[in-house]
Structures are given as structure tokens and as C-alpha cells.
């Protein structure tokens, strides 16, 4: 079940619960007698990348949970997707596990004792989740606040360097595969996923590496230019992404709608198969990102399914 982006949260209302929004990778887990298995939002199994989570449910069977895998920043404790990237797609060594520990923040339960509870209202599912007493070690069950002022919770999220908040109707059932207005996400700064369709050459210290990524999304089924992003990269990250782009380069634009002339003239094009998260202030009237900043590559997202920011 996915949340719908919202600019203005409803005021304090007991019909809404408030949760914090975590900067990580959404994951469904299934716990059986042989341990836990994890799947990303696009259905890819990611268990091998997080063995400490797979081993964290001793003696528990018959659960299906929904949550977020996060890698806390060692300085602030806030989840950092850029740190989590070091674990994605790996079979981590003991050294990597120690350097980049992960947590699984569980916020919903879908099955208990192999019986579905998805038709129960949100509040009852949360009560069932709390009764499981899962909180401990790398497994955390973050709190939920009922009827709390969303504006106040946004300020708390900002002070804690979090992404924002998620509001959930207390009487809502779990609707798998749907983006519902029963769940609303309110971001402090918008973060969306885009397809990479090309790149611009770097200059100065970035000469021979990567200047910026050319981004796109699908609007009414057409792949359209959404701007470019050139900030938020590490030096090593620029080189790694450029290497990946060189392997999928193509001579022509994959866009269905002609991009601005300066982009068409100077961009190097690639197949639109890499997905990236980008934070930005707003989308301008002509559909271009304002003040974008690169957040990370999303290996758990199918670039062909990326839509248009709302």
C-alpha cells in the first residue's frame, strides 16, 4: 500500500494517525520457521543484503510485516539513504555490516499466524503489531500518534533531520498495490524517483567524470524531460555512475517529447533503466525541477514504472 503525496496536512483530527517518514527502502517481510525473507517494493528479494535482519526473528513464524529498511547516520541517528546504498545489492562482509548497520522499522502487520489481518482497521492492526513485542535489536516498531497536530509533527521531523510525516486514517484497511488517499505523505522537501535518460559532461574538478544527470518521468505514458541534477554526489559516486552510464549509452534520445534545445545539443543519452531519488524544492510551470539535489540510485525501483511528480 502506497501513500499519496499531500502539500497541506489535515489539522488535528482523531480520525488520523501520524507516523514519521523514514529515508530508506520499503520492504515487505515474511517470517517463517526458516527465518525471515525480505522483498523490495518492485518485488525483488533482498534478503541476502541484510542477513542480520533475516536472523532477527528467532522463534517467530507466520508473520508478514510492512516496514522500511534504514541505515542510521552515526552522527545524528537519522536514516540515511546514501548510507543504505552501500548495502543494496551486496552480500555484505562482516566489516561492511559493522560499518553500515541497518534497522528494520516495522509500521504495519499483514498476516499473523498465517492469517490475513489486512481487512482490520489501521488502529486494530497497530494494536496487534504492538502485542507481538518485536521491538529490539535491529527490529524497531516506531510510535504512532493519534489526533496529533501534523504541523507540530512536521517541526519535530525537521528538528530530527527526517523526511517528513505520513498520515493514515485510523479506520483504513490495508490495500496492497494501491496508492490510496487513506495514507498521505507530507515531505519537508519533496523527494521523487526519476529515470536517468542521459548525462552532461563535467567541468573543472569533474572534467572527464559526470557533470549532471538528465532526468525524466512519464506523463500520460510519454517519457518527458524533468530537468537535470548536478549536486549531491560524492567524487567516487560521480565516477561510479558515469561508468554505469557509459555501459548503457545510446546515440539518440529515449525521450518521447523533445527536450529543451540546450539539453538536446549537449547531452549524452542512455537507455532509461537507472532510477534515482532526487530532492527538490518544486516543479516549475514548464515541468523542470527547481533546486534539485541527488539522493541516491534506487536499485529497488523499476525505472520503466516511474511516473510524473505530483
Tell me the C-alpha distance between 52 and 29, whole Å.
13
CA angle 221, 260, 5 (to 5 degrees): 45
Q: Where are the alpha helices (DSSP H) in the chain?
A: 51-54, 81-84, 94-99, 122-131, 150-159, 235-247, 261-266
3-state secondary structure of 254: coil
Task: Spell out where 175-221 has E strands.
Answer: 179-187, 190-200, 212-219
21 annotated active-site: yes
According to the model, what pLDDT value does residue 282 have? 75
**Across-strand partners of 219?**
222
The residue behind cell 522500511 is 68
According to the model, what pLDDT value does residue 149 have? 94
Options 21, 185, 190, 295, the catalytic residue: 21
Q: What tens-digit pLDDT sequence spans the chain (310 residues)? A: 999 988 777 788 999 999 999 989 999 999 998 889 999 998 999 999 999 999 999 888 899 999 999 999 998 889 988 789 889 999 999 999 999 999 999 999 999 999 999 999 999 999 999 999 999 999 999 999 999 999 999 999 989 988 899 999 999 999 999 999 999 999 887 889 999 999 999 888 788 889 999 999 999 999 999 999 999 998 888 999 999 999 999 999 999 999 999 999 999 999 999 999 998 877 887 889 988 999 999 989 999 999 998 7
Name residues whose C-beta falls within 8 Å of residue 296's C-beta, 6 or more positions apart in sequence.
Answer: 81, 82, 84, 85, 276, 277
Q: Go through the domains of the chain in sequence order and give each one's CATH number.
A: 2-187 (3.30.470.30), 190-305 (2.40.50.140)
According to the model, what pLDDT value does residue 211 have? 94
According to the model, what pLDDT value does residue 113 have? 94
Tell me the C-alpha distance between 218 and 273, whole Å.
13
CA angle 200, 203, 208 (to 5 degrees): 75
Amino acid at each position: 500500500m502506497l501513500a499519496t503525496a499531500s502539500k497541506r496536512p489535515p489539522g488535528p483530527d482523531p480520525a488520523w494517525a501520524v507516523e514519521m517518514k523514514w529515508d530508506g527502502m520499503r520492504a515487505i517481510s515474511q517470517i517463517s520457521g526458516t527465518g525471515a525473507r525480505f522483498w523490495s517494493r518492485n518485488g525483488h528479494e533482498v534478503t541476502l543484503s541484510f542477513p542480520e535482519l533475516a536472523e532477527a526473528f528467532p522463534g517467530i513464524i507466520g508473520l508478514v510485516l510492512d516496514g522500511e529498511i534504514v541505515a542510521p547516520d552515526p552522527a545524528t541517528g537519522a536514516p540515511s539513504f546514501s548510507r543504505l546504498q552501500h548495502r543494496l545489492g551486496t552480500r555484505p562482509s562482516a566489516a561492511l555490516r559493522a560499518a553500515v548497520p541497518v534497522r528494520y522499522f516495522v509500521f504495519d502487520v499483514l498476516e499473523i499466524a498465517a492469517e490475513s489481518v489486512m481487512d482490520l482497521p489501521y488502529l486494530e492492526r497497530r494494536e496487534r503489531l504492538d502485542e507481538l513485542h518485536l521491538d529490539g535489536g535491529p527490529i524497531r516498531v516506531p510510535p504512532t500518534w493519534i489526533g496529533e497536530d501534523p504541523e507540530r509533527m512536521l517541526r519535530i521531523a525537521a528538528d530530527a533531520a527526517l523526511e517528513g510525516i505520513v498520515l493514515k486514517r485510523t479506520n483504513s484497511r490495508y490495500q496492497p498495490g494501491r496508492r490510496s488517499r487513506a495514507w498521505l505523505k507530507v515531505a519537508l522537501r519533496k523527494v521523487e524517483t526519476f529515470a536517468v535518460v542521459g548525462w552532461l559532461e563535467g567541468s573543472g574538478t569533474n572534467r572527464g567524470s559526470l557533470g549532471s544527470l538528465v532526468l525524466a518521468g512519464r506523463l500520460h505514458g510519454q517519457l518527458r524531460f524533468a530537468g537535470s541534477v548536478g549536486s549531491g554526489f560524492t567524487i567516487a559516486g560521480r565516477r561510479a555512475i558515469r561508468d554505469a552510464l557509459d555501459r548503457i549509452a545510446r546515440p539518440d534520445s529515449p525521450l518521447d517529447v523533445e527536450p529543451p534545445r540546450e539539453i538536446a545539443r549537449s547531452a549524452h543519452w542512455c537507455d532509461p533503466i537507472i532510477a534515482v531519488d532526487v530532492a527538490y524544492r518544486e516543479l516549475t510551470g514548464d515541468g523542470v525541477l527547481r533546486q534539485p539535489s541527488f539522493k541516491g540510485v534506487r536499485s529497488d525501483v523499476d525505472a520503466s514504472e516511474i511516473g510524473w511528480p505530483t
